[in-house]
Amino acid sequence: MKMSSEARKAVSLILICLAVLFFLLGIAARTKMNFRGRAQGSRIGFTAAGVFAGAGIVMLAFSRRRERS
Residue spans per domain, the chain = 11-68
User: Quick one: 41 exposed, middle or buried, by C-beta within 10 A (0-12, 13-18, 19+)?
Assistant: middle
Q: For the whole model, what pTM was predicted?
A: 0.64
Is residue 41 scored above 70 in pLDDT? no
Give tens-digit pLDDT for 3-35: 777 888 888 888 888 888 888 877 777 777 666
